[in-house]
Amino acid sequence: MTPTRMEQEPLEQFTFDFNKETAEISTGSNDELKLKLGEFAGPLDLLLFLIRQEQANIFDIPVAKITDEYVKYVKLMKTLDISVAADFLVMAATLIEIKSKMLLPRDPMAPEEEEFEDPRRELVDRLLEYEKFKSAAGMLHEKTTIEQAVFQRGKIESDDSNAEINASVFDIITVFQKILLRHRDEIKMEIAREEISLSDMIRTLKRRIFEETELNVLAFFEEMQSKRELVTAFIAVLEIVRTESVKLTQKKTFGEIFLKAVTNGTGN
Amino acid sequence: MEPETETEIEVETKAARGMAELVAIVEALIFVADEPITTKLLAEVLDEDRDAVEAAVSELQKEYEGRESGLQIREIAGGWQIATRTELHEEVRKFLKTRPSAKLSLPSLETLAVIAYKQPVTVPEILEIRGVQSASAIKTLLEKRLIVTRGHKETVGHPMQYGTSKEFLIQFGLKDLTELPSIEDFEDLAG
């Protein structure tokens, strides 16, 4: 940010001892490194680790040094056959770009009053933001660990018939596939008929849910006359769950799925 | 047990139950409910005022604490639950022959943290914060029912939005989302 700091920065780059660093990385068995590398949750995580390791100030990152370290790690991940997520490479490119920007002297023609923007600024902001969520993830980890030391009573027989489970879209796809399979075996005479549109189907579906309060999805699919209608019905169900205050419920796991209007409030 | 409390609440209970009786009924219902039972539901089922139910629950809590019971009445995911005390986990686990269940991976925990604090949040927004694709983490969280979809965002491409579920509150021992520490509280760690 201050011009003095900018003058110091390139100096640091040239005093960087590349060979010394290489030696340090290659110590330890490959397995050990693999484990350690696998621990990084993402490029920002790796970057934070490297900054810590260098005991560098996050607001004044020695970009050249950290970039070299970072690139070395990513290369190492490749040689160790760890599939390197594209995001790690994107970050490498970002770092190199910042590094090259910092090597450029400031435009002497630039007006004096113009605020000099540190090329590292955006990255620092992202790192700080990311670090908050990394800490929050740690907090969640602690909470769930504590929670695992608390036990509720064991399941009793009536539990399964009591509670309503929120069925997911995955459950409904399973049901749909079953019906589709059954329909395939039925031999039908093909009669040209007017196709029902998706919006019509949604309207029908809405009316049925409203009338019957609880609509059995399976039964609804079974009413369909053709495969095309069935697919339309399926899309209508997905659409209505997504956009309307309708939820999918099950009386028990793998039980029949019902569509139900959500009675006010937030639902889940 | 304490006559003064009993008479005090007796006036408020609609169904002309004594406090001791209400405490006992509330205890029974919290016990049989297989997921946290809300004050609202208790009040509806028993035809009592919410105040009376709340008083009964806190009376019950005090009673458990008072005799250092192995059980506790806790508020979780907006409802009440009977559970064992944390300190007894070793013995309970030994009896149940269970081990702590598989923990979430680091990427999944991070993704969950972002969703918990930024909900409703889209995949691109999560990517922006984490700097890495979170597709498999989101899949895991959906399968574990810790997160739910929250409709589409009214923006280019209509990306799906995600939020935390009731299961999230239960598994992380939270009364509600406001019990999470503020995200800004994690800031000072940067130094």
Subunit contact A42:B101, Cβ cutoff 8 A: no
3-state secondary structure (DSSP) of residue B57: helix
pLDDT at A27: 39
Spatial separation of the C-alpha atoms in residues A264 and A253, rounded to whole Å: 25
**What's the pLDDT band for A5 if we cut at 50, 70, 90?**
very low
Average pLDDT on A41-45 reads 88
A221-232: pLDDT as tens digits: 888 877 788 888
Q: What is the pLDDT of residues A127-150, one digit of tens each?
A: 999 999 999 999 999 898 888 888
A152 vs B contacts (CB less than 8 Å): 81-84
Preceding amide of B120 cis, omega within 30: yes
Minimal Cβ distance to A147: which of B112, B171, B187: B171
Q: Which two tokens stand for residue B161?
A: 């939005």
Q: By CB neighbour count within 10 A (0-12 exposed, 13-18 middle, 19+ buried), where does A67 fall?
A: buried
Q: With CB atoms and an 8 Å threshold, state whether A268 touches B165.
A: yes
Q: Which residues of chain B have pLDDT under 50?
A: 1-11, 190-191
With b meaning 16 or more CB within 10 Å and e meaning fewer, what string describes B73-109? bbbbbebbbbbbbeeebeeeeeeeeeeeeeebebbbb
End-to-end CA distance of chain A: 47
Question: In 3D, which of A95, A127, A59, A83 has the Cα closest to residue B128?
Answer: A127
Please indicate if any CB of chain A lies within 8 Å of the CB of B183: yes
Q: Which residues contact A228 (CB under 8 A, 6 or more apart)?
A: A195
A15-27 pLDDT tens trace: 333 333 333 333 3
Report yes or no for ipTM above 0.85: no
pLDDT greater than 80 at residue A178: no
* Region A49-63 average pLDDT: 89
Q: Does A103 touch chain B (CB under 8 A)?
A: no
Cβ of B190 within 8 Å of Cβ of A128? The answer is: yes
Give whole-number Cα distances, B127 to A85, A88, A201, B101, B110, in Å.
13, 12, 36, 28, 11
Q: Which of A188-202, A237-251, B76-90, B171-185 has the lowest mean pLDDT?
A: A188-202
For residue A47, the model assigns a pLDDT of: 92
Report the predicted TM-score, pTM, of the whole model to 2 decimal places: 0.65
Q: Which residues in chain B are closer than 8 Å to A155, comparing Cβ atoms?
A: 34
* pLDDT in the model for residue A164: 54
Please name the member of B173, B181, B189 whose beta carbon is closest to the beta carbon of A150: B173
Q: Which of A130, A148, A166 sits opposite B129 (nearest CB)?
A: A130
pLDDT of res. A23:
32
Average pLDDT over residues A44-53: 90
Q: Does B153 touch chain A (CB under 8 A)?
A: no
